[in-house]
Structures are given as structure tokens and as C-alpha cells.
Structure 1
Amino acid sequence: MSFSISNFLSDPFAITTVSFGLISAIIAIAGAGAANQSDFPHFSWWGIVYQIVVIIIILLLYLCNTIELYKFTLVGLISIAFIYNTNSINWLIYTTNDSGFLCCAAGCILLSIVNLIWILYFGGHPESPTNQFIDSFSLKSHNHGHLNSNHNLDDDNYVNVNPVTLPHHSSSSNLQVGSPQFQDNNLRQSQLTTNNRSTNTPYMSSSQLNGLENFSSSDVRDLNNSNPPNSFRYKAKALYSYDANPEDINEISFFKDEILEVEDIEGKWWQARRSNGQVGICPSNYVKLLD
């Protein structure tokens, strides 16, 4: 848990809804204070105070970057506030024409609107259309981003990976020009050059991997062992279980509460490694960085 004002300021949805909620609560309090207290319903005062407490809780969760962990709890708390506000609106509007009553009712109507928005957002799945649209404006890389099985994202949202280095054969200098071994070696070298020049796509396609099937098992072991063991600097905990897209060989599946080693955490898809050594990419809004 990292308390930072940037966690809140980097999310336009949080800034808009929390600010709108605070302004609405101020309007409701001003109207309640100006109303005739002998006729003013006491449960409306309690509903306004309860609503302010809920708004403060949401603000603190955003500041601590733990809003994802309490979404379902917030739905219950906000639903109670929504009921208080709607009951107050019905009482304040139809009881009297006092200006204080009507001002408080206007504040409660605005609070009901923001509560309804919060219920739809916090109660929705991260892949729902409404959540995807709202999260598209967020400046944060986690949090409740849009998942696309085809990864049709901007290039700077992709995970950067180190270029694959093919194993070096010390015996290549002894190959005779024109021999099948010599031609095969040249083919591998040309494919390596092509792959290293392909900077527009972070992962090699199946067409770029043609020729690798000619390597022996020892070559594959050398290739796997060439990755630095400490290249994953961070650890993350899975918030939900995730099943990899079977059509994308770059994705990995994982279970809820599983600890992953991650790297390149700036985009919506992070490079990750499971405890069994499986390496691939995972959606950033399904995991949470550990301190």
C-alpha cells in the first residue's frame, strides 16, 4: 500500500466523481442548515453524514491505490447511501415548499446520481463496456484497464522484451561454402537479422520463428539459459484468476492470489514469470504490485 496524491490525480474518473460528490454534499448540508429544524427529518441528517463518510472512504482508497480490493464492499456501502438519499428526496420535496428543504433535496438528487455511477462502475467487471470506456481515460497502468484478447493497443502500451539471441556455433567457421550446413547457417543468420530489425512489434510472430525447429534440444536449452535470472525486478499478486487466450502464445494463465515476478510495468500488459518458470504477458489490471 503506497499512499500518494498521484494515485488519485492520475485517475480522471476518481477526480470527477469524488469532487462532484463533495460539492453535492455541501449543497445538501447548506440546505439542511437553512431549513426549519423543527420540521426537518432527522434521518436526512444521518444520511448526509453517512454519505460524506462514504466519499472520504473512497478518496482514501484511491490515495492508497487499494480501490480494486474493496470494490464489492463499496457497492454495499454506496447502495445504503443511495437509499438514504432517495428517501430524503421524497420527504423534502413533497412535505413543504421551504427553500432550505428544496436546496437539500437538490443536493440529495446530485448525490443519488453520483452514487448510481459508482454502483455501476465498482459493481461492473473490468472487461465490461462501461468500465473499459471509463478506464480508457486513466493515466495509471493498473488498475482497471481494458483487456483486449487481440492486444489492439498502442505500441507504447506493449511490453518491451529483450531480443532473442540465437546460440553461437563455434564450428560455423569450418563449414564449406555451398554445403547444406553452410546454407542452413546463413538462413539462421538472416532470420536473426530480420527479427532484430523488427522493432514495431514487441513479440515475434510465428512467421519470424521459421527455421528454429531445425535447432537441436541442446540449442533450445542454451537459448532458455541465456535469459538473466534476475531480470524480473518486481513481484505482483494476482487479484483474479486469468485464462490465457489460446490464440495468443504470449499470454500466460494464472490463479487468484498467485505471486508473479513482473517487469516492464508501464503498459497495460506486463511481462511476467510464474513460479513454475513460465514466462509471458499478463493484464496489469488483474494483478497488484507488492511493496
Structure 2
Amino acid sequence: MPFKISGFLADPFAISTLSFGVITWIVAIAGAASSDQSKFPRFTWWGLVYQILLIIAILFLYLFNIIELYKFTLVGLLSIAFVYTSNSTNNLIYNSTSSANLCCAAGCMLLAMLNLTLIIYFGGHPESPTNQFIDSFSLKPSHHNHLDDKNFNAHNLDDDNEEEFKRYANPSQDAGHFQDNNLRQSQLTTNNKSSNTPYMSSSQLNGLENFSSSDINNRDLTSNQKRSTIYNNEQADSQPVMNFRYKAKALYSYDANPDDINEISFVKDEILEVDDIDGKWWQAKKANGQIGICPSNYVKLLD
């Protein structure tokens, strides 16, 4: 939050409104100071102090270039100031004939007009006609570079996704080192498609999306070969033991894609052991020991 006087000097609306506010406040405070205090409304003093503190606060927000972050707060504070100044104007005009009181009333009336103008501006949408007209005179970009901040955040998010992919693609490698750029591009494309389609094809999933991190670490994901879903006795001894925490009942029959050895077929009402149930394809085990993936919308978890 650096201090930049250009944030204030580059905005003609800020210069004109705050300068007008200081001048009218001086007029009001001068009239209040020269008035007969026995007949002067006491709450007007508090209203004038509140008004100058609010003007100073707005000035600092412009100087630190964070006015956009506090617009809604300023609308509430300016509404209170508008009530103070308009009420003081009413009491000073209709309950006194003193010239000093009338001078203070004139200053309060102008301050009320200023507060109303600022309420309309700060409470308006940046794309409203009034705000666009006012901001057209400004010498700095609108929204105070918030769009740049969004682009910066989006860039950081892209970097985070890339780093996450790096860890997923090959956990043994440090960030920034890849052996297979084609794998990276295909994986990113698959991730983008997953948010737009109800279920990805099994050939895109490769049976790996629902594995836990421990399973991923035990597999070489850079290999183009798919694992077998059925283990013989010799292979079972060398494969890690997989625990299936849930049971599911098949709602419909499903025929596995013959081009994808990771899928398993099952019939309606068949009971399966399942795990990694966060994704659209679940890891499943049949009663005969066959392990593979199944579409989650074809099965229902049992209590």
C-alpha cells in the first residue's frame, strides 16, 4: 500500500470535491466559532468535527490508491454526515437570526450537497453513466488497476496449476523439469474437459484419476502402458495391497470398453467393493477379485 500523491492529483473529481469540502467546512466552522454559544446547537460542533475527519479519511484513501476498496464504507459514513449537516442547516436557519449562525448554516448546506454528491458517486456502479462520465476526466486507469491485479492473480493460478501438474506427472522430479512435454499438454487438456463434460471417456482417465497419492507415488505415470486390472497369483504378490472401504450395488449393467483394460464389466444388482469415490470414476473390485474402474453413476453406495 505505497503512498502516491499521483493517486490524488490525477483525479480531478477528487481534487475538486475535497477542495470544495475544505473551503465550505472553513466557512461553517468560522460561523460556528463566531456564534453565540448559548443559542448555538451543540450537536453541530460534533457534526463539523465528524465532517472534517471524513474528508481527511477520503484524502488518505486517494493518496494510498485504495479508494475503490472502501467505497461502500464511505457511502455509509457519508450518509451519516449528510444527516448531520442537513439537520444543522435546518436548526440554524429557522431557529436563529444571527448572521454568524446563518454563515454556519450556509457552510453546512454546501457540505450536505457535497455529501450527497459523494454518496451518488461512491454508491454508483463503475460502469454507470454518471461514474463513467466523471471517471473520463481522470488521468489514471479506472478501477485503480484492479484489472491488473486480477490478471496477476490469474497468472499465479495458472502457475499453481502447472506446479500441481508437475507433482502429479512425476513426483520424483523437481518443479520445472519434464521428460515428456506431450504428456503435460494432454493432461492439461483432459483437466479442462473434465469441468465441461458429465463423464470423461475411460481412455482419457487411464484409471489413475481416482487413485490416492500413495498409489500414484508407486506408479510411473510417464509410461504409456496401462496397468492390467486382473492380477494372477504371481502378480498379486508383487502388487501393493489395496483396501476397499465401501460397498456399492450396481444400478445398471455395464459393459467395459474393450479398448480400455482399466474398466470392468458388471451386471445389475452386483455388489462391488469400491474406494476413491470422489471422482466420476471409482476404483472397484468384483467378487472374483477383478479390479478396475467403474462409472459412479452406474452404482450406488450401500450403508
Secondary structure at the counterpart of residue 149 of structure 2: strand
Contact 1:260 1:275 in 2 (8 A): no
> Which string of whole-angstrom CA distances, capped at 9 and with x for unpartnered residues, describes residues 166-199 of structure 1?
xxxxxxxxxxxxxxxxxxxxxxxxxxxxxxxxxx
Instruction: Give the equivalent residue in structure 2 for 1:31.
Output: 31
Across the aligned residues of Structure 1 and Structure 2, the Cα RMSD in angstroms comes to: 2.6
List gaps (5 residues or longer) in structure 1.
146-234, 239-253, 263-272, 278-291
Secondary structure at the counterpart of residue 154 of structure 2: strand
Give the TM-score normalised by the residue count of structure 1.
0.52
Contact 1:11 1:138 in 2 (8 A): yes
- Give the Cα separation in 2 of the matches to 1:91 and 1:276: 63
> Which structure carries more relative contact order (alpha carbon 8 Å, separation 6+)?
1
Give the TM-score normalised by the residue count of structure 2.
0.50
Q: Which of structure 1's runs of 4+ aligned residues deviate more than 2 A? A: 142-145, 235-238, 273-277
Instruction: Give the equivalent residue in structure 1 for 2:110.
Output: 110
Q: List aligned pairs for 1:46-61, cutoff 5 A.
A: 46-61=46-61
Contact 1:72 1:122 in 2 (8 A): yes
Q: Are 1:3 and 2:6 matched, yes or no?
A: no
Q: CA deviation at 1:71?
A: 0.3
- Give the Cα separation in 1 of the matches to 2:159 and 2:62: 28
Instruction: Give the equivalent residue in structure 2 for 1:237.
Output: 149
Which residue of 150, 154, 159 maps to 1:260?
154
AA in 1 matched with 2:121? Y
Contact 1:259 1:275 in 2 (8 A): no
Distance 1:47 1:40, change over 3 A: same
Distance 1:119 1:260, change over 3 A: same
- Give the Cα separation in 2 of the matches to 1:127 and 1:276: 32
AA in 1 matched with 2:149? K
Contact 1:259 1:274 in 2 (8 A): no
Identity of aligned residues (%): 62
Q: CA deviation at 1:142?
A: 3.4
Q: List aligned pairs for 1:131-142, cutoff 5 A.
A: 131-142=131-142
Larger Rg: 2
Q: CA deviation at 1:141?
A: 1.3
List gaps (5 residues or longer) in structure 2.
163-303
- Give the Cα separation in 1 of the matches to 2:22 and 2:38: 26
Secondary structure at the counterpart of residue 106 of structure 1: helix
